[in-house]
């Protein structure tokens, strides 16, 4: 973004000869709108990198507290991904299986295709083996239905900013089209 900003400043310096041209011509007004949209995008990117990103990373790093009895929701199961010393559990037909000790599930990944911490019911239909391979793994609980929860504020702000920046990109393309039609 810094490179785009610097080149934009240099090109504007050579293209815009006076404040009158910048404020009273169609090109100048569209350029100012485009610069304003660029600055909004830079500010949202900085906010995401400095404030929202660390919150999202902290959520991924926080240790999973497994409920007693081993019954998990799909969100809780995601923390049992086999990475960084966490257990490698997966769900199949509503049951949870522990693949931590299996040599075929190194770092929570099976044959480079299937990740621990997920429901693999549909994926097993495409596997070269049947459910008998899953049955030999120790069952550790059941997959329970998840109640609807409202996403945390920082996640909702992140999605809002992502869609806002996408809309801004379309506005910039519209500005470029207006320049070409003039």
Q: What is the DSSP letter of 125?
A: T
Q: Which CATH superfamily is 74-142 part of?
A: Cytochrome b5-like heme/steroid binding domain (3.10.120.10)
Q: Which two tokens stand for residue 179?
A: 């320049």
Helix locations, 1-100, DSSP H: 2-15, 19-24, 26-47, 53-61, 74-77
pTM beyond cutoff 0.85: no
Report pLDDT for 123: 79
Dihedral-angle region of residue 94 (phi above 0 means left; psi in -120 to 50 means alpha; beta otherwise): left
Q: Across the 182 residues of the chain, what is the mean pLDDT of every consecutive 10-residue run?
A: 89 92 92 95 94 84 58 79 82 86 81 81 78 82 79 91 96 92 74
The H-or-E segment that residue 175 falls in is helix 153-181
Q: Where are the domains of the chain?
A: 2-61+151-181, 74-142
Say if residues 91 and 120 touch (Cβ distance below 8 Å): yes
Where does residue 111 fall: left (phi above 0), alpha (psi -120 to 50 degrees), or beta otherwise? left
């Amino acid at each position: 973004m810094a490179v785009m900003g610097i080149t934009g400043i240099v090109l504007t310096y050579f293209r815009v000869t006076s404040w009158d041209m910048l404020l009273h011509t169609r090109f100048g007004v569209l350029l100012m709108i485009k610069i304003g949209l660029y600055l909004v995008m830079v500010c949202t990117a900085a906010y995401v990198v400095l404030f929202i990103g660390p919150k999202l990373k902290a959520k991924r790093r926080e240790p999973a507290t497994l409920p007693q009895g081993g019954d998990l929701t799909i969100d809780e199961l995601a923390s049992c991904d086999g990475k960084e010393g966490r257990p490698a559990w997966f769900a199949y037909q509503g049951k949870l299986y522990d693949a931590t000790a299996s040599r075929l599930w190194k770092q929570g990944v099976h044959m480079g295709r299937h990740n621990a911490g997920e429901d693999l019911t549909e994926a097993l239909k495409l596997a070269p083996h049947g459910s008998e391979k899953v049955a030999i793994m120790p069952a550790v609980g059941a997959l329970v239905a998840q109640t609807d929860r409202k996403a945390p504020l920082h996640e909702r702000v992140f999605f809002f900013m992502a869609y806002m920046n996408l809309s801004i990109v379309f506005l910039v393309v519209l500005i470029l089209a207006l320049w070409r039609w003039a």
